[in-house]
Amino acid sequence: MLTAKEEKHKQSSATQASVYMEKLQRKSSCTFKHCTRLAQLADTFAAALGLSAKERDQLIQGCYLHDIGKLSTPSSVLNKEQALSDQEWNSMKKHPVQGARLAMSFYEEIDNRVLETILFHHERWDGQGYPNGLSGENIPYFARICAVLDAYDSMVSDRCYRKGLSSSHAIDELMRNSGTQFDPILVRCFIKSCI
């Protein structure tokens, strides 16, 4: 049970979060829609993983905000339809750190799991991800979950410039990268329970 003061802080942080997500929607509706779908997928997956109500809320919030740092990515990079140059790619790869900084600025006391999801959702199971090159179970659990949902949604969704893959093709890709990019247990559980 939250105190009145804690409840007020929670509400003002939620308002701030939605202000920034509205900005993201104006900047890149594709990214905003992806974040919204990820929050929905997180809700479904949370039940399959047996998370508590509090953990479910943390996962949904982290997935909803995971790409908030793209507010700092130049629009010319974010909305580019062709392949990114090395310089553009480096700029894009800053978004987890930029997102974590932004979230810390609008949450008086940000939940650590939400923060970790934003900061580490591009880490890879084999340690080849970014920003920190964490590997295996050193990657926070909710960030590992977000990585699977993020990849699945990115593959199956239509973009302005390409049609999304079929669900079965996306499953093949998840399986192919299970144990290198993704936590193999989470991939198995996601495919079994959410698709």
Q: What one-letter code names the amino acid at 99?
A: G
Are 29 and 67 contacting, i.e. CB atoms less than 8 angstroms apart? Answer: no
Distance from C-alpha of 120 to C-alpha of 44, rounded to nearest angstrom: 21
Please give the residue whose beta carbon sits closest to Fe ion in the complex.
67
Residue whose C-alpha is closest to residue 144's, from 71, 4, 11, 42: 42
Subset of 82-141 contacting Fe ion (CB under 5 A): none
Compute the least distance from the CB of residue 107 to Fe ion, in Å: 19
Distance from C-alpha of 131 to C-alpha of 193, rounded to nearest angstrom: 30
Compute the least distance from the CB of residue 122 to Fe ion, in Å: 6
Contacts with 164 (C-beta within 8 Å, 6 or more apart), sequence order: 155, 156, 157, 158
10 versus 39: smaller Cβ distance to Fe ion:
39
Tokens of 191: 């495919």
Centroid of chain to Cα 81: 21
With CB under 5 A, what is the number of residues at the site for Fe ion? Answer: 1
Subset of 52-81 contacting Fe ion (CB under 5 A): 67
63 versus 170: smaller Cβ distance to Fe ion:
63
10 versus 156: smaller Cβ distance to Fe ion:
156
67 versus 183: smaller Cβ distance to Fe ion:
67
Compute the least distance from the CB of residue 95 to Fe ion, in Å: 6
Compute the least distance from the CB of residue 89 to Fe ion, in Å: 13
Given the rule CB under 5 A, which residues bind Fe ion? 67
